[in-house]
Amino acid sequence: MRMIAAASAREILTGLHEVMASRATAQAKLNKVVQIIGEALASEVCSIYLRREGVLELFATRGLNQEAVHVTKLAMGEGLVGTIAEQIATLNLDEATSHPDFAYKPETGEELFHSFAGVPIIRKEDAVGVLCVQHAEPRRYEEVEIEALQTVAMVLSELIANAGLIDNAEARGSKVQNTAALRLNGLKLVDGMAKGHAVFHQPRITIEHTVAEDIEAERHRVYSAFDKMREQIDKMASQAEFGGEGEHRDVIEMYKMFAYDEGWSRRINEAIDSGLTAEAAIERVQQRTRMRMRQIDDPLLADRMHDLEDMSNRLLRIVSGQLASAAQAGLRRDTILIARNLGPAELLEYDRRRLKGVILEEGSLTAHVIIVARAMGIPVLGRVKDIRRLISDGDLLLVDVGQSAVFVRPTPAMEEAFETQLAVTQKRRAGFAALKREPPVSKDGLRVTLMINAGLRDDIAALDATGADGIGLFRTEFQFLVSATMPQRERQLRLYRDVIEAAGKKPVVFRTVDIGGDKALPYMRQDDEDEENPAMGWRAIRVALERDGLMKAQARALIEAAAGTTLNVMFPMVSEPWEFDQARAIFEKQREFLIARGKRIPREIRYGAMLEVPALAECLDLLLPKLEFISIGTNDLTQFLFAADRAHPKLAERFDWLSPAILRFLSRVVKQCDAANVPVTVCGEMGGRGLEALALLGIGIERLSITPAAVGPIKAMIRSLNVADARSVVNGLLQTPPESIRAVLGEWAMQNKVEI
């Protein structure tokens, strides 16, 4: 039986190939198809039900009464056929009537038949119909016969879609919920509102042909695609850090496992044997896996399924030569980008004018891609579960990060509410803009220094637009991230000069390159290719001191760019004072070199260190006498204090910046810096959030460098705050912390009418 059935899949496909190529009408083709399948599987009955207007309609049959065609209809979930479609599952029964979902349709005359097997006809992960066979004898169909049916169902889905036999929405593969309006919730990553159409970062592959012309050629295509994919994965695994932040080491390991999984390639090969094209074979195997996984309710397996889907899509993209990312195709209209996760460089590839918002299935607040998005002013909603499954390419989306929501295919009422909210937000924003020329002075007269974080050339404009006091953190590595090749000294010099010129009298604090961690440079090879923990590994000043050619070039570019003015420079990830000494010495040497060459140099170079590694706080007494300023990078600092990867999606909401541990730590640092008369700034994302900024002022911070969009709201907060009061409240909270500092401080802010 096995052999007969195995041969039959191929036989059926050969038969179908002729039918598909013929000039007959779609209905005639379907009639022919049921004959071919019925004969091949020695079944008295073979029927095709297709979904039309939400119900499953009998479109063609061999063996049932012909009068029932286009008459018999089953709702989704009704009867065996409806169950198969709704659950996207296969049924194989020796006695159909004994199944609890069996529904008798007298017009079909099916009471004569006992055994029943049915498979869903799937289009883009959704059932658009059902193919079933019935037999007079009560017998269960063999596994290989079921597989033959599933293979045929794949081909049918192509025929059906091409012939326009089902509704457009259904042909697109939309699920019932894929046409309805939806509200999906996520995590606020970059505040803002956006309206646009869904574009998948990694577009779905459309399979054009399912039946192979030449089986050996298809096999060859799959082999070479596997080779290429394995090469890609090996490369990814051997890079010390990975482009996409979601691509953690364990994911890569999983990828590797799948890429080399013999079972997977063998099953694809078998599907090709049955007569499918390479693309259809990959998809066929994926469909089968999906069907199996649906029956197992295990979140861990679901995660693995996610990885396998990614791999399968990767293989499909390679084999079909379709584009790797939507950025390469170019955006045609207002876009909301949908992705599992993105790396900063990937985001920067998109056209900023058309990219209105981003929705991620993963994502965390201080991941660099989010910092880049914030700098670009692009709202991002993260941790939206299953978004890639629930929406279709081109769907209209309304993103309202303030509400932690995205509205999918909105109803007119949803759109109206969105527009109203948008108007409110714009009005608030106009209010903030009006504050532009007002100083950030608290109610009790403290003049706070409010600066912005920047990194791209376009960010310079934000200085004027916000009226900020300067650039407190210029992330020089962004230029490295957006370039295809290492930016040479001349190019660096030009950027720094433009920034300094545009800032005029306002100070700019340049941070030397911080690469490594989640900021990968594709063109820079890492020496240690197998870093376990890139964030705690070879990054920032550690790279710079070892590869000092890079640091020297940057030092010269900065010194030349700041000729005649004051250059403020700081070093990232300093862990011990000697690192600061060495970095400073490199700069000083370049300064002398330039003087010897008769070049103009800055009037003054002010050196600072970022405090991001907790160990440095223990040596402040040694460090403070050596430098002009300190800047606290709370993004890294908190990840190290809590031992919680800042890019790890599962930890995104676990720890609170308003925790006693962080605030007490910062408070000690501030006191020490104050005593040594060294100005201290907070430049992490924490300072751009209302309540966090309030707490920072409460522990004595008077200088903040924040994302430009936060300048208005933070200034409004400062202007409505009595800092002396805030200090005594925060002090009290740190001495005897309540269960939630956030809750108590929030309440206090509300009662005291502080604008948060």
Residues lying near Mg ion in the complex (CB under 5 A) are found at 612, 633, 636
Letters for 492-521 (x = contact with ligand PEP by CB under 6 A, - = none) are: ----------------------x-------
- Per CB under 6 A, 29 contacts ligand PEP: no
> Does residue 634 touch ligand PEP according to CB under 6 A?
yes
d(CA 678, CA 630): 7
> Please, are residues 77 and 122 in contact by the beta-carbon 8 Å criterion?
no
Site membership for ligand PEP, residue 636 (CB under 6 A): yes
Residues 455, 512: Cα–Cα separation, whole Å: 11
> What is the number of the residue whose Cβ is closest to ligand PEP?
633
Q: Is 645 in the site for ligand PEP (CB under 6 A)?
A: no
Containing H/E element for 390? helix 387-390
Distance of CA 542 to the CA centre of its chain: 29
Q: How far is the CB of 696 from ligand PEP (least distance, A)?
A: 13
The entry of Mg ion, ligand PEP, none that residue 634 binds, CB within 5 to 8 Å by partner kind: ligand PEP
The span from the CA of 109 to the CA of 107, in Å, is 6
Residue 338 bridge partners (DSSP) = 200, 359
H-helix or E-strand containing 471?
Answer: strand 471-475
Binding range to ligand PEP, per CB under 6 A, among 81-89, 209-217, 316-324, 634-642 = 634-642
Q: Closest separation between CB of residue 744 and ligand PEP, Å? A: 25
Task: Give the C-alpha separation, 394 to 292, whole Å.
Answer: 29
Residues 435-474 that bind ligand PEP (CB under 6 A): 473
Residue 388 identity (one-letter amino acid): R
Q: Which of residues 681-720 bind ligand PEP (CB under 6 A)?
A: 683-684
Among 357, 633, 688, 713, interactor with ligand PEP by CB under 6 A: 633
Nearer to ligand PEP, 82 or 344 (CB): 344
From 491, 465, 462, 461, select the one nearest 478 (Cα to Cα): 491
Smaller CB distance to Mg ion: residue 46 or 471? 471
Closest CA to 446 of 753, 674, 728, 698: 698
Rounded Cα distance, 60 and 20, in Å: 16
454: partner contacted, choices ligand PEP, Mg ion, none (Cβ within 5-8 A by kind): none
In 3D space, the residue among 560, 566, 527 whose CA is nearest the CA of residue 543 turns out to be 527
Of Mg ion, ligand PEP, none, which one does residue 283 interact with (CB within 5 to 8 Å by kind)? none
Chain positions 247 to 306 lying near ligand PEP, rule: CB under 6 A, are none
- Work out how close the CB of 629 gets to ligand PEP at its nearest, in angstroms, rounded to a whole number: 14
Nearer to Mg ion, 51 or 368 (CB): 368
Position of tokens 């030569």?
Answer: 321
Query: Residue 589 CB, nearest distance to ligand PEP (Å)?
Result: 26
- Point out which residues pair with 566 in neighbouring strands: 604
- Where are the alpha helices (H) located in 529-659, listed in sequence order? 541-546, 548-561, 577-596, 614-617, 620-623, 634-641
Least spacing, CB of residue 625 vs ligand PEP, in Å? 24
Question: Do 566 and 604 contact (CB within 8 A), yes or no?
Answer: yes
Closer Cβ to Mg ion, 346 or 612, answer by number: 612
Binding piece for ligand PEP, criterion CB under 6 A, among 36-44, 267-275, 372-380, 629-637 = 629-637
Binders of ligand PEP in range 725-754 (CB under 6 A): none
Least Å from the CB of residue 186 to Mg ion: 25
Residue closer to ligand PEP, measured from CB, 5 or 673: 673
Contact between residue 548 and residue 262 where contact means Cβ atoms under 8 Å apart: no
Site for ligand PEP in 369-428 (CB under 6 A): 371
Written as one string, the DSSP assignment of 271-323 is: HHHTTB-HHHHHHHHHHHHHHHHHT---HHHHHHHHHHHHHHHHHHHHHHT--
In degrees to the nearest 10, what's the CA dihedral of 679, 683, 689, 692? -50
* Closer residue to ligand PEP, CB minimum distance, 8 or 707: 707
Residues belonging to the chain: 756
Nearest CB to Mg ion, comparing residues 363 and 633? 633
Residue 247 site contact among ligand PEP, Mg ion, none (CB < 5 to 8 Å, cut-off depends on kind): none
| Number of neighbours of residue 53 by Cβ within 10 angstroms | 9
Which does residue 32 bind out of ligand PEP, Mg ion, none, counting CB within 5 to 8 angstroms by kind?
none
Task: Kindly indicate which of the ranges 96-104, 105-113, 439-447, 627-635 contains the residues binding ligand PEP, using the contact rule CB under 6 A.
Answer: 627-635
Residue 363 interacts with ligand PEP (CB under 6 A): yes or no: no
Which one, 148 or 573, has the nearer CB to ligand PEP?
573
- Provide the 3-class DSSP secondary structure of residue 397: strand
Chain residues in the site for ligand PEP (CB under 6 A): 371, 473, 475, 514, 612, 633-636, 683-684
